[in-house]
Structure 1
Amino acid sequence: MKVPLSILSLFLLGILLHLVILPQASVIVIKSYTSWCFVAVVVVCSTFLSNDIWLKSQRLRWKLKRQGIKGPHPSLFYGNVPEMQRIQSSSKSISISSSCNDFIAHDYTSTLFPYFEQWRKLYGPVYTYSTGNKQHLYVNHPELVKEMNQCITFGLGKPSYITKRLAPLLGNGILRSNGHFWAQQRKIVAPEFFMDKVKGMVGLMVESAQPLLKKWESCIEAQGGVMTEIRVEEDLRSVSADVISRTCFGSSYVKGKQIFSKLRTLQETISTGSVLFGLPTFGFLATRQQKEMRGLEREVESLIWEVVKERQKECLESSSSLEKDLLQLILEEAINDVCVGKESSKQFIVDNCKNIYFAGHESTATAATWCLMLLALHPEWQARIREETLQICQDGILDSDSLSKMKTVTMVIQEVMRLYPPAAFVSREALEETQLGRITVPKGVCIWTLIPTLHRDPDIWGADANEFNPERFSSGVSNACKVPQAYIPFGLGPRLCLGKNFAMVQLKVVITLIISKFTFSLAPSYKHSPAYRMIVEPGHGVSILVQRSKRG
């Protein structure tokens, strides 16, 4: 809301007339009009703040409340944020950290997101709450999640306040954009991750895993060939980063090492402030953290552009008959598409590369880390995977054909992704009024679905919902639970993760290769403490005791 120029002009004109007509009283007049100007500015600002922060959110809350949707009572300017912070602070006294010799509780939602769990118990699987000027709708009812799956319009997009905070990391790429611009990017990227393309990447994935296998063998040899303790998450990040570099950008991990390192730092910096609370920020002053993020953002973009220019040079020098990788397709689209434009083409390329670099390796590496943690707890499943691998790969070659026959490792990965999905939420904003079942979601309301809560619902998964039991997936996802649409480790609807096939195949390759060479158990130093840093990852990493497999 802006102060009308006419009002300010009248104040200034009045001051000028008094200065001319009544010079003796000019000082008094200036003071008087200055006071009135100050009062006017305060009133206008107060009106803006109350409308933008409180009244707008209240109107949306009333619309939801009229439909029978309840929720915690908000404070005037901060909504339910003070209560969220209070509940979060009190939950810290209840630690889920435990040693590997203790029982590990897989249900971490009550510690990471205690306010959501507390409100769910009070108000049920659908309720409303607010954070500053944002009104939210929590949806964890299976049928409504199914409705969200089937919503194919542009009416549900990524929440604007969250994507604004993630802009340094993701730019305006496919993970952050909405509407037709998002659809345009999806059209370019999606075909590169269809299963027929992913099958052709298996050889490169196997090559990328070899340095990890050799490193672990060397570590064992250094310990007399018996057993060694290994911290696995960084090694798995290196493998995943190398895979995305080779398959999508035609370069080795060495070239992209700085990019991945700085993206990781940027992710950690953004994660220090909660993206879930959504308090309004007006950006008058740049904080130290914001300055740090801007510096990292510039460095990442500069490094990516160097890779892009190298790729452009390679494209010009190489034969046109060579199969194009994803980076080359993005380059061509940005140059040839009139909708992008020459001035925006550089940012279009950089933003999408940032999205693929980040999403293509961080989530997959974290999923692989959780896989090794759970397999270390359950050596019987290591044995089953190893036995199946020996039967299928009798010649010792792991390729796309043999990989497609490996049922056991698929079941294990699906169960790991049920208990520890890297993405904790599906978040959407109603960009226009949207109907979900019986609920009319007003424009501007943000919708949240807590994935691990759905994945642990006993009514959907049975009494053993909190236990590691890959056998439940023996007949596929459709028969693993009562409501298959409630299994959403890769998100849901039109914005289902494009890299689903890519991630699943990569996980199968990495886990199969590791288990074919090694046996492992959790190290005594391991502390189970899941942490939310944009994705759910092991808070203190994962350390395992590794030895050579007798059949390796």
Structure 2
Amino acid sequence: MDASSTPGAIWVVQTMVLAAIPLWACHMVNTLWLTPITLERHLKAQGLLGDPYCLSLLLSCPTYMLKLQKELLSKSMDLSKDDAAPPIFSLGHLTVHKYGTNSFAWEGTAPKVIITDPDEGEEVFNKIQDFPKPILLPIIKYITVGLFPYEGDKWAQHGKIIVPAFHLERLSCMLPSFSHICHDLIDKWKGLLSSDGTCDVDVWTVRIYLTCDVISRTAFYSGYAERAKIDDLLKMQGYALMTARYAHITLWWLLQSTTHRRMIVIDTCIRDSHESNMRKRAKELWSDQTTDDDLLRILLQSNHIENKGDENSKSAGMTTQEVMEECKLFYLAGQETTAALLAWTMVLLGKHPEWQARARQEVLQVFGNQNPNFEGLGRLKIVTMILYEVLRLYPPGIYLTRALQKDLKLGNLLLPAGVQVSVPILLIHHDEGIWGNDAKEFNPERFAEGIAKATKGQVCYFPFGWGPRICVGQNFVLLEAKIVLSLLLQNFSFELSPSYAHVPTTVLTLQPKHGAPIILHKL
């Protein structure tokens, strides 16, 4: 291009930029104002109540919510004998408290309709094509990977490969590893006992050297150094949640902040670690150097069979990158969910010694002082009732959100595309209209005849989700929890420490903000 043509080229570029500005402005006005206002009018015309969109903009709803939540979490709440339900503060709770169950809340520019009716919730869970998951915020992709965000054929394809790894018969071979790791913890705690046979421990910290170790050995068969490295990296990734408070600031996610750059570096390190371990395990698998059935080996076998069964299809199995993402999800969800369940179980049994005594008596009747076995675990009726009740009061996640990509009818509502629906797990789990006047009390007896009887056949109990997308790892979590709880009951009695501060909070899972200190008594 000669010099004479340069001004002409610059003029063309400037013209294109100037022409694009009005288009961009129109798009922003439509996105930030016209579409939300139209959706709001549509919802209110059907009798749904909620804060006006203009008010949510003025109050900066996410910032306002975080301020109120911070004030609540700064105070310790009483865990009374009669009321064990956590006083969780969330957008859904605040909205229902203010407007009732026929309501909606604003999350950015999207109105979120609160769904508390069991029949409507069942429809949301079952019709996964009509109610897909919302698009994840850019930074959240570093935390929720693997099967979690997939939809449609991609989800079905991955589910077909992953589900076999979590069949009960597959998990049964991992019992020796579960027991061995738990005995290491018990020996550690026995070493802390004072002369009177007691000691104070924080059971929330078991995730550091128990649930983390279990998911590492049974899922990936990695060495201690590898496990410690991945655990440290995942803890660092937890800082990503701190940036979520800016999620709804326009265009904020386009900025390359220090947090963004740090998350990219951490994510690369985690992927490199998983890739190295996966290649090592794949080499052992193809050379038959090991017969250990950890989850990674089972996953690689299942993926190999799927690829072999459809050699002409490039999409039959998972790529190396996708297998690594599943490993990361196993690792993160596997330790956090089980750790939270065990912590809340110990807290509630420490507060309710009569149920602790009943559970111990059952464990001793079934196993004596021997290690738990697979057949015996299925006979632990009281322990199972207790775990179900803990999951009702303290589910890992407190709500589920789905997005509408087309106009749909849900119950008596006509919902337009662009609306989200939220199923508030915690609100439904504590609904007195469903569970009775003791809905907020710790009463495992309600599950004496199973979940179906306790729920009267309604879809109102879903600590691991429900329908086709129910969590594939729930068997793993419950099996590990039963083994750990059985071995602890064989060796200790325990009570809640006076230093315990009851401040439930959500960071990945619903967990005790200040830990769960208990006093152990050697039996």
Task: Calculate the TM-score normalised by the size of structure 1.
Answer: 0.84
Aligned partner of 2:512 in structure 1 is: 538
Instruction: Tell me the CA shift for residue 279 of structure 1.
Output: 4.6
Aligned partner of 1:295 in structure 2 is: 265
Aligned partner of 2:195 in structure 1 is: 224
Instruction: Tell me the CA shift for residue 499 of structure 1.
Output: 0.9
Aligned partner of 1:64 in structure 2 is: 43
For the residues of structure 1 that align with 2:24 and 2:275, how far apart are their CA atoms?
42
Against the structure 1 CA distance between its residues 94 and 427, is the aligned structure 2 distance closer, same or farther, given a 3 Å change threshold?
closer
Instruction: Show CA shifts across 1:267-305 (max 9, x none).
Output: x21221347964543543211111121111111111111
Against the structure 1 CA distance between its residues 89 and 522, is the aligned structure 2 distance closer, same or farther, given a 3 Å change threshold?
same
Aligned partner of 1:85 in structure 2 is: 63
Against the structure 1 CA distance between its residues 308 and 381, is the aligned structure 2 distance closer, same or farther, given a 3 Å change threshold?
same
For the residues of structure 2 that align with 1:379 and 1:535, how far apart are their CA atoms?
26
- How many positions carry a matched residue from both structures? 515
For the residues of structure 1 that align with 2:246 and 2:420, how far apart are their CA atoms?
11
For the residues of structure 2 that align with 1:388 and 1:344, how far apart are their CA atoms?
44
SS of residue paired to 1:272: helix
Aligned partner of 1:355 in structure 2 is: 329
Aligned partner of 1:49 in structure 2 is: 28
SS of residue paired to 2:60: helix
* % identity of equivalent residues: 27
Q: Which segment is superposed worse, 81-90 or 469-478?
A: 81-90
SS of residue paired to 2:495: strand
Aligned partner of 2:89 in structure 1 is: 112
Aligned partner of 2:186 in structure 1 is: 213
Specify every segment of 5 or more residues in structure 2 that has no aligned partner in the other structure, as ranges.
Answer: none
For the residues of structure 2 that align with 1:344 and 1:204, how far apart are their CA atoms?
28
Against the structure 1 CA distance between its residues 365 and 47, is the aligned structure 2 distance closer, same or farther, given a 3 Å change threshold?
same
Q: Does 1:408 align with 2:382?
A: yes
For the residues of structure 1 that align with 2:355 and 2:224, how far apart are their CA atoms?
31
Instruction: Show CA shifts across 1:497-536 (max 9, x none).
Output: 1111111111111111111111111122211111111221
Instruction: Tell me the CA shift for residue 225 of structure 1.
Output: 5.2
Q: Which segment is superposed worse, 447-456 or 341-350?
A: 341-350
Contact 1:72/1:80 (<8 A) preserved: no
Against the structure 1 CA distance between its residues 122 and 14, is the aligned structure 2 distance closer, same or farther, given a 3 Å change threshold?
farther
Whose radius of gyration is greater, 1 or 2?
1
Contact 2:79/2:502 (<8 A) preserved: no
Instruction: Tell me the CA shift for residue 486 of structure 1.
Output: 0.6
Against the structure 1 CA distance between its residues 210 and 450, is the aligned structure 2 distance closer, same or farther, given a 3 Å change threshold?
same
Match of 1:242 among 206, 209, 213: 213
Kindly provide the amino acid, as one letter, of the partner of residue 316 in structure 1.
W
Aligned partner of 1:3 in structure 2 is: none
For the residues of structure 1 that align with 2:476 and 2:258, how far apart are their CA atoms?
37
Kindly provide the amino acid, as one letter, of the partner of residue 36 in structure 2.
S
Aligned partner of 2:421 in structure 1 is: 447
For the residues of structure 2 that align with 1:539 and 1:382, how far apart are their CA atoms?
24
Instruction: Tell me the CA shift for residue 87 of structure 1.
Output: 4.9
Aligned partner of 1:328 in structure 2 is: 300
For the residues of structure 1 that align with 2:427 and 2:252, how far apart are their CA atoms?
34
Match of 2:142 among 168, 182, 189: 168
For the residues of structure 2 that align with 1:158 and 1:378, how far apart are their CA atoms?
38
Instruction: Show CA shifts across 1:119-156 (max 9, x none).
Output: 213432232233333232221222211222332x4222
Aligned partner of 1:98 in structure 2 is: 76
Instruction: Tell me the CA shift for residue 313 of structure 1.
Output: 2.1
Contact 1:236/1:365 (<8 A) preserved: yes
For the residues of structure 1 that align with 2:126 and 2:490, how far apart are their CA atoms?
40
SS of residue paired to 1:129: strand
Aligned partner of 1:126 in structure 2 is: 102
Against the structure 1 CA distance between its residues 281 and 203, is the aligned structure 2 distance closer, same or farther, given a 3 Å change threshold?
farther
Q: Which segment is superposed worse, 375-384 or 39-48?
A: 39-48
Match of 1:478 among 449, 452, 455: 452
Q: Does 1:318 align with 2:288?
A: yes
Instruction: Tell me the CA shift for residue 493 of structure 1.
Output: 2.0
Against the structure 1 CA distance between its residues 244 and 435, is the aligned structure 2 distance closer, same or farther, given a 3 Å change threshold?
farther
Against the structure 1 CA distance between its residues 116 and 323, is the aligned structure 2 distance closer, same or farther, given a 3 Å change threshold?
closer
Instruction: Tell me the CA shift for residue 346 of structure 1.
Output: 2.5
Instruction: Show CA shifts across 1:104-125 (max 9, x none).
Output: 954444x521x42232134322
Contact 1:262/1:296 (<8 A) preserved: yes
SS of residue paired to 2:192: helix
For the residues of structure 2 that align with 1:385 and 1:234, how far apart are their CA atoms?
23
Match of 2:166 among 180, 184, 193: 193
Match of 1:435 among 397, 409, 413: 409
Instruction: Show CA shifts across 1:234-268 (max 9, x none).
Output: 224432222223333234555323212312321x2
SS of residue paired to 1:216: helix
Contact 1:70/1:127 (<8 A) preserved: yes
Instruction: Tell me the CA shift for residue 47 of structure 1.
Output: 1.1
Against the structure 1 CA distance between its residues 504 and 60, is the aligned structure 2 distance closer, same or farther, given a 3 Å change threshold?
same
Aligned partner of 2:486 in structure 1 is: 512
SS of residue paired to 2:125: helix
Instruction: Tell me the CA shift for residue 216 of structure 1.
Output: 0.6
Aligned partner of 1:184 in structure 2 is: 157
For the residues of structure 2 that align with 1:104 and 1:272, how far apart are their CA atoms?
34
SS of residue paired to 1:273: helix
Against the structure 1 CA distance between its residues 513 and 73, is the aligned structure 2 distance closer, same or farther, given a 3 Å change threshold?
same
Give RMSD over aligned pairs.
Answer: 3.2
SS of residue paired to 1:435: strand
Q: Does 1:155 align with 2:130?
A: yes
Q: Does 1:307 align with 2:277?
A: yes
Q: Which segment is superposed worse, 318-327 or 207-216?
A: 318-327
For the residues of structure 1 that align with 2:50 and 2:246, how far apart are their CA atoms?
17
Structure 1 residues 495-510: aligned runs within 5 Å: 495-510=469-484
Kindly provide the amino acid, as one letter, of the partner of residue 115 in structure 2.
V
SS of residue paired to 1:137: strand
SS of residue paired to 1:161: coil
SS of residue paired to 1:160: coil
Against the structure 1 CA distance between its residues 303 and 407, is the aligned structure 2 distance closer, same or farther, given a 3 Å change threshold?
same
Task: Calculate the TM-score normalised by the size of structure 2.
Answer: 0.88
Against the structure 1 CA distance between its residues 269 and 510, is the aligned structure 2 distance closer, same or farther, given a 3 Å change threshold?
same
Match of 1:397 among 371, 378, 385: 371
Instruction: Show CA shifts across 1:407-436 (max 9, x none).
Output: 111111111111111111112122444432
Contact 2:341/2:396 (<8 A) preserved: yes
Contact 1:96/1:108 (<8 A) preserved: no
Against the structure 1 CA distance between its residues 335 and 258, is the aligned structure 2 distance closer, same or farther, given a 3 Å change threshold?
farther
